[in-house]
Structure 1
Amino acid sequence: MSTLQDKYANVISAAQTAGISDLKINEQDGILYVSGNATNSAAKDAVWNALGTIDTTYSASDINLDVQVAGLKAGASLIVATDSSNLNIRQEANTEAAIVGKAAKGETVTLVEQTSNDWWKVKTADGEEGYAYSRYLQA
């Protein structure tokens, strides 16, 4: 096992325990890539929560988590699952992009597209459309 796989052993273990299918663990250029498909958002969250215990800001540059929730189609309802604050809806899929809307904790938004593991394009009840950090969205 590599040092990155040691460092993130709990993330890998959580992915195995959560039943992530097509689980791939690959290390390349100093980055650990963990990918697969979750049957539901709780399984995806289990993997993210394991990362959160190691990296509370989710800003580590040496791991790339790509766990998609299988069966989520455009039009699926998602619940905003922030700790307490509003979820920013952005013009582009990055934290530097302009905020075009906000969704409150517990609010329901509609999935437009799972653009990447980190960012999903969503539409709010008010019709605002943009990208939200998928870590805070649950099916």
Structure 2
Amino acid sequence: MALQDKYAELIQAANTIGVADLAIAEKDGILHVSGTANTIADSDALWAIFNKIDPDMASGDLLLSIDVKAEAGAQLKVTTDASNLNIRSTPSTEGTIVGKAAHHEIVTLVEKTDDSWWKIKTKDGEEGYAFAQYLSPL
């Protein structure tokens, strides 16, 4: 089975949700899919499809590199279900809680530390790391 056929659902979903700069290329038996999603939820949806097609990513035949649109200085909305978002001293759940951002509060992106943790700043000046899953670019 051709890799683009195997991952057709993922490719279709990336097109449907509007992944910008979507690039698809096959090299040395690995399908490379990259681009920029508008939200973490969109990125998470693509990863969920990947895991459905290839549980635990065991076959090693896809390299999925989906960034999320946001640059330093961008305004982000806290998208927790209802609770406050913890802001930590380090990019880890082990980091000390140094502040909180309220549900639906707008914060400023300081830097994308990695795909999971972003450094943010609240309107009150609290600065630290928050779990990126609960932040969406405006």
Query: What TM bracket, shorter-length normalisation?
Result: 0.5 to 0.7
Structure having the higher Rg: 2
Look up the match of 1:69. 68
Find 2:44's aligned residue among 30, 45, 48: 48
Give 1:90's aligned residue: 88
Are 1:129 and 2:132 an aligned pair?
A: no
Which whole-Å CA distance do the structure 2 matches of 1:35 and 1:82 have between them? 27
CA distance in 2, matches of 1:94, 1:10: 33
Q: Distance in 2 between matches of 1:136 and 1:65?
A: 21
Q: Are the equivalent residues in 2 in contact too, given 1:65–1:117 (CA < 8 A)?
A: no
Corresponding pairs, count: 123
**Deviations along 1:34-85, whole A, 9 cap, x unmatched?**
75322x22xx412314556999xxxxx8699753223x22211111001111
Q: C-alpha distance in 2, partners of 1:45/1:23?
A: 20
With over 3 angstroms needed to count, the CA separation of the structure-2 counterparts of 1:120 and 1:129, relative to structure 1, is same
Name the aligned partner's letter for residue 121 of structure 1. Answer: K
Q: Where does residue 19 of structure 1 map in the other structure?
A: 18
With structure 1 as the length reference, what TM-score do the two structures score? 0.65
Counterpart check, 1:118 vs 2:116: yes
Structure 2 residue runs of 5 or longer lacking an equivalent are 26-31
CA RMSD across the alignment:
3.5
Superposed CA offset, 1:67-122 (max 9, x none): 3223x222111110011111111111111111111111011111101121111110
Q: Structure 1 residues 93 and 24 mapped into 2: Cα distance closer, same or farther (>3 Å)?
A: farther
Q: Tell me the SS of whatever aligns to 2:119.
A: strand
TM-score when normalising by structure 2: 0.65
Aligned residues with identical type, % of pairs: 48
The 1:10–1:88 alpha-carbon spacing in structure 2 relative to 1, beyond 3 Å, is: farther
